[in-house]
Amino acid sequence: GELGMLRDKNATSVPGYEDFLLGATYTGVPVEIQGKIITGRSPEDAMKFAIAIVAEIQGKEVADKVAHELLMSRDAQPEYRQ
């Protein structure tokens, strides 16, 4: 936003707040990962956001295990970076 941290990056937010993502491209997906910046769409997507953070820190395998233990279905999990 105002600090320029999202400039030329994809980002997501609660619908209606797109104008606060100054310099970013709004995607509307539940979780957007751009480098060291992770944005989330809504409180409804909090678990997806949490799993994305686990994937970034500990890797996809650990994130999949945590998601499984939280009983998240595969299609409810966020996309991971390759």
Whether 31 contacts 49, CB under 8 Å: yes
pLDDT bin (cut points 50, 70, 90) of residue 70 is confident
Q: Residue type at 64?
A: D
Q: What is the pLDDT of residue 68?
A: 87
- Per-residue pLDDT reduced to its tens digit, 7-64: 999 999 999 999 999 999 999 999 999 988 999 999 999 999 999 999 999 999 999 9
Which token pair is 80? 């991971």
